Chain A
Amino acid sequence: MEIIMSILAGILFTTGIYNLLQKQLLRIIIGTGLISHGAHLFILTMGKLKTGLPPILEHGDTNPDHYTDPLPQALILTSIVISFGVTSLLLVLAYRASKENETDNMDLLRGNEND
């Protein structure tokens, strides 16, 4: 299972980076979204995907072997809200920047030295 998930995360990274290298601003932002999905999937996979109960203590069962690892899930949750915040900022920034500069083509957003 870990191998399949690793390959999937790899594909997400590849497509994300392909999109990052495009000229259109919105495609770049989609690329960052895909990369953060890949990274989050990675954390989950790296915490070992053993079959187990969700990490909620029930019926007095306190044997840790019966549950899945709760730490990666907390890390992912933190990372998700952070990348959510950054992505929403980036979207608004892209909207404003393309409005002000009247283009969403990264090649035209280069600028010269003394402006």
Chain B
Amino acid sequence: MISNLAVLPIVIPMIAGILLAFFHKKIPLVRSLAKILTTTNTLVVLFIWLYVKENGAVILETGGWEAPYGIILVADLLSITLVLTTNIIGIAAVFYAPASLSKKQEEFYFYTFFFLLITGVSGAFITGDLFNLFVFFEVLLMASYALIVLGGGKVQLRESIKYVLINLFSSMLFVTAVAFLYSVVGTVNMAHIAERVQGVEQKGILTTIGILLFFVFGTKAALFPLYYWLPKPYTVPNPVVSALFGALLTKVGIYSILRVFTLIFIHDTDFTHTFFLWIAGLTLIFGVIGALSTNNIKLIVAYNIIPAVGFMLIGIAIFNETSLSGTVYYLIHDMIIKAALFLLVGAVVYLTGTTDLRKMKGLIHHYPLLGWLFFLSSFVLAGIPPFSGFIGKLQLLKGAFEEGEILIVIVGLLASLLILLSMIRIFIQAFWGEKDETVTVNKAAARRFTLPVVFLLFFSVFLGVGAELIFPSVEQIADYLMNPEIYIQSVLKE
């Protein structure tokens, strides 16, 4: 009975999405229902998190079929932590949405697609089956296609074509990679693959399949050289949609890399993980170059997703316990702070009516709270000590030091500096300066925008200041990731 808990984070948002589709025109009702449903779902997930932390992974064999034959849902501490983070971001998005969406957009099934996105992301985190992971990828991508064109402006349509095309192509590559893997090991269950991979004679073909899967997930996660599709499409939709995308979608890609390369393809780590280290370094460099290259504030934040993904990949590439705990910590931190930043930038763009940094000045005179929140989130993002970005990066780079990879440490530290520069540039140009008397101040709108951001930043600050409470769980996850036998045994029940 208790194993049914694993399916709740998928089922609740799915039912919510279907339910809200029936009366999409009654906005006040839909809004309040959406708020209640996300909060309920988050509380349920929190309960599961506490249960998993106490008793170990919850494993559900759907339909009662034994491990390798049916679809298995595995809610271990890593996946349930990420689902919890997803739902926290979901709450902020639902409370932010009424302020930022137009009435027409809200009527046009926004909340349905939002809940389906949460379903897809939670499903991708929880599934224990490679083909099922593909299906959940498609669930979240389909919802994201609908959200990215919501509104249907000229630019939006243009950019979403590129977004759909690149994702369609990488999905087909994913299917091909699964087909290859099926022909080699004859199963699609992750634990069963991991067990059979150990007995495969020709490791070369497995490395090839591993790299193919890495390219698929790397496209989803926006790694160098596969990130080119990301920045523009992320700037065109409504800010709340951008926040959901920036916080969740790339992180599903990085989670898949983390899962697949700590569980299945661990036979040739010399080659694969050196390769990852190079990719991670280049991702960092090109991401920060992009962030510094533009005056469009939405684009600056979108480019900042890329170095963050690079940091997480460093942890996977170094592949020891310290660095993996850093990756997990950084993953949680980055999901929250990226959502907060996109929401903040969305508020700034809404209040000033422009995305061009050069046309803004002196916003801090009109909106002091917004300004200081932005300042705080820049510091959190760059990893200034009391806040959450610091601990993740510290662990990552400490892990790199332990393995003697000095070069990547230097690149990582420099990249952090440049990330801070790119964010502070927004703060200095948009918020400082003389008071602009011509602007019409809209305090009420600003207040509606800031509340969800305060909610998210509370978690960011808590992750940093209360690290002693969180960090043991993260270390537990890292330990678990270093020992894939635990996963295999708990799923296959030998």
Contact = CB atoms under 8 A, between A and B. Distances in A.
Given A93-B157, A96-B152, A43 B182 contact: yes
Q: Please classify how large the interface on chain A is, using the bins under 10, 10 to 19, 20 to 34, 35 or more.
A: 35 or more
A47 B182 contact: yes
A42 B135 contact: no
B161 A83 contact: no
A83 B174 CA distance: 12
Interface string A3-38: 000000000000000001000010010001001101
For this complex, into which size category does the number of interface residues on chain B fall? 35 or more
B176 A109 contact: no
Contacts of A87: 168
B305 to A, nearest CB: 18
Interface string B134-149: 1100100110010001
Contacts of B171: 82-83, 86
Nearest to A109: B158
Contact of B135 (A25, A82, A97): A82
Contacts of B22: none
Contacts of B159: 111
Interface stretch (A50-58, A60-68, A71-79): A71-79
Contacts of A85: 142
Interface centre among B142, B159, B165, B355 (most CB of A within 10 A): B165
A47 B165 CA distance: 28
Given A83-B168, A111-B159, A101 B182 contact: no
Interface string B170-192: 01110110111011000010000
A36 B171 CA distance: 9
B183 A111 contact: no
Give the interface centre of A78, A82, A100, A115 by most chain B CB atoms within 10 Å. A82
Q: Which of B135, B161, B295, B299 has most A Cβ within 10 Å?
A: B161
B285 to A, nearest CB: 21
B168 A43 contact: no
A37 to B, nearest CB: 10
Interface in A72-115: 72, 75, 78-79, 82-83, 85-87, 89-90, 93-94, 96-97, 100-101, 109, 111, 113-115
A75 B158 contact: no
Contacts of A42: 175-176, 179
Contacts of B142: 85-86, 89
A32 B154 contact: no
A82 B180 contact: no
Nearest to B184: A46
Interface of A: 20, 25, 28, 32, 35-36, 38-40, 42-43, 45-48, 71-72, 75, 78-79, 82-83, 85-87, 89-90, 93-94, 96-97, 100-101, 109, 111, 113-115
9 contacts: A28-B165, A36-B172, A39-B179, A86-B164, A86-B168, A89-B142, A89-B164, A111-B155, A114-B296
Given A45-B179, A89-B164, 8 more contacts: A32-B165, A36-B172, A47-B183, A90-B161, A100-B154, A101-B154, A111-B159, A115-B155
